[in-house]
């Protein structure tokens, strides 16, 4: 923390040599050795010279939660009952430990809060996304020992209505977690599956619950997307018969693409790497789906790597699943859907890419199960 502080001296008017951090550690060790029979005076001898430093921090901070914390610590140290050794020594140790943490390098509470505000404003932390304490500490260059700074920055943002903190201490950006155009995106992807020949004319789409799971979308949104495609002339949607692709669509529809062609395109789009075990594949898919479920905002490079891994995994699994189910149209529809989702134009917006990765991860898990022991 870059603040000009008055440092304590237990020897006289001039500060003792050595850094503030090491001096505080030494005095905390010395304070831990003081026993009640030594008296309150010995505790005060170590604590009192540090009160001006704490007062400096109180006056310098621009964080409301940090200011309140230093005000409380100074007040408790000054007003502790001088006849009560336990009360005085407890207040003194808490104050010196807080000063010890403040002497560590790294951004202040105010600086952390400002960085989070900017991230929320520019969309790096979208509405509904979960803020990982581990990631925040890493991004701002703090260690676990200074986690309390991030917690106080979170408290400032809660007071401003920018984030919420649950009883389980889950930190989440305020606002709706769904994409504002989730219906349009879901409809577009479904339309691409029909036009791309994944579901040929006169074939039935999966049930709405299964489609909702495949598209990582609420059932209500899936229902509205199906109804929109019905209105556009792509589907016939009936409550009892489900959704069926109409024999004549309003635009040209491709014939079901050959799996060999799709696998070749997947291999061209994927980066080379060592084959993954089924356990590795499931772990990757769980991570990708968790990003969307928690509305996280992972770094762009992490998204790129995950996409490459899932595309390569799909390229490896599709031939295995096809060999196990050579004549099953419903299985081949799953395989074609997986390939089309993997190959369809990837969006530039981070939140949409997180959603699309969840769709791809769900498809890859289905294909892994269809490949069975062959995987």
| Domain co-membership, 196 together with 283 | no
| Domain co-membership, 290 together with 359 | yes
Residue spans of the chain under pLDDT 70: 1-18, 176-180, 273-274, 373-375
| Domain co-membership, 169 together with 188 | no
Q: What tens digit of pLDDT does each residue of 126-137 get? A: 777 788 888 888
Mean pLDDT of the chain: 87
Last residue in a domain, options 56, 87, 102: 102
- Whether residue 252 lies inside any domain: the answer is no
| Domain co-membership, 115 together with 98 | no
| Contact status, residue 368 vs residue 282, Cβ threshold 8 Å | yes
| Contact status, residue 243 vs residue 237, Cβ threshold 8 Å | yes
Q: What tens digit of pLDDT does each residue of 4-39 get? A: 445 554 433 333 334 888 999 999 999 999 988 778
| Domain co-membership, 78 together with 32 | yes
Tokens of 105: 């390098």
Of the candidates 241, 246, 242, the one whose C-alpha atom is nearest the C-alpha of residue 231 is: 246
What does the alpha-carbon distance between residue 5 and residue 53 come to, in Å, rounded to a whole number?
6
- Whether residue 8 lies inside any domain: the answer is no
Report pTM. 0.59
Last residue in a domain, options 76, 102, 128: 102
Longest dimension (CA), the chain: 95
| Domain co-membership, 96 together with 123 | no
Q: What's the distance, CA 274 to chain centroid?
A: 27
| Domain co-membership, 304 together with 323 | yes
Of the candidates 198, 255, 205, the one whose C-alpha atom is nearest the C-alpha of residue 230 is: 205
| Domain co-membership, 46 together with 124 | no
| Domain co-membership, 272 together with 343 | yes
| Domain co-membership, 263 together with 367 | yes
| Domain co-membership, 241 together with 207 | yes
Strands of 75-121, DSSP E:
none
Domains identified in the chain, total number: 4
| Domain co-membership, 98 together with 64 | yes
Last residue in a domain, options 199, 217, 245: 245
- Whether residue 361 lies inside any domain: the answer is yes
- Whether residue 75 lies inside any domain: the answer is yes
- Whether residue 365 lies inside any domain: the answer is yes
Q: What tens digit of pLDDT does each residue of 207-251 get? A: 999 999 999 998 888 999 999 999 999 999 887 778 999 999 898
- Whether residue 13 lies inside any domain: the answer is no
DSSP assigned state of 50: G
116 is in which domain, residue-wise? 109-173
Q: What is the pLDDT of residue 362?
A: 96
Give the pairing of strands 163-165 and 242-245. unpaired
> Residue 220 belongs to a domain with what CATH number?
1.10.10.10
């Amino acid at each position: 923390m870059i603040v000009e502080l008055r440092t304590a001296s237990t020897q006289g008017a001039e500060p003792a040599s050595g850094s503030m951090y090491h001096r505080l550690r030494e005095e905390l060790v010395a304070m831990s050795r003081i026993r009640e029979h030594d008296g309150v005076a010995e505790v005060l001898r170590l604590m009192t010279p540090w009160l001006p430093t704490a007062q400096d921090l109180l006056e310098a901070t621009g964080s409301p939660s940090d200011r309140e914390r230093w005000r409380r610590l100074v007040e408790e140290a000054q007003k502790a009952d001088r006849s009560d050794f336990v009360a005085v020594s407890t207040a003194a140790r808490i104050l010196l430990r807080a000063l010890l943490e403040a002497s560590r390098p790294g951004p202040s509470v105010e600086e952390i809060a400002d960085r989070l505000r900017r991230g929320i404003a520019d969309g790096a932390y979208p509405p509904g996304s979960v803020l990982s304490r581990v990631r925040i500490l890493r991004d701002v260059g703090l260690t676990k020992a200074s986690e309390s700074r991030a917690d106080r920055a979170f408290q400032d943002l809660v007071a401003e209505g920018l984030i919420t903190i649950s009883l389980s201490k889950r930190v989440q950006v305020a606002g709706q977690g769904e994409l504002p155009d989730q219906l349009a995106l879901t409809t577009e992807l479904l339309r691409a599956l029909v036009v791309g020949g994944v579901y040929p004319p006169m074939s039935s789409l999966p049930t709405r619950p299964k489609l909702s799971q495949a598209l990582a979308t609420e059932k209500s949104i899936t229902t509205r997307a199906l109804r929109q495609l019905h209105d556009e002339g792509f589907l016939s949607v009936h409550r009892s018969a489900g959704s069926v692709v109409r024999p004549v669509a309003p635009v040209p529809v491709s014939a079901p693409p050959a799996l060999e062609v799709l696998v070749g395109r997947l291999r061209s789009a994927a980066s080379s790497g060592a084959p993954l075990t089924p356990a590795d594949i499931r772990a990757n898919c769980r991570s990708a789906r968790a990003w969307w479920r928690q509305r996280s905002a992972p770094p762009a490079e992490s998204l790129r790597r995950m996409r490459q891994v899932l595309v390569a995994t799909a390229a490896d699994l599709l031939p295995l699943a096809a060999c196990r189910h050579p004549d099953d149209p419903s299985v081949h529809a799953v395989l074609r859907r997986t390939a089309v989702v993997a190959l369809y134009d990837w969006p530039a917006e981070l939140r949409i890419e997180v959603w699309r990765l969840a769709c791809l991860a769900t498809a890859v898990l289905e294909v892994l199960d269809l490949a069975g022991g062959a995987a």
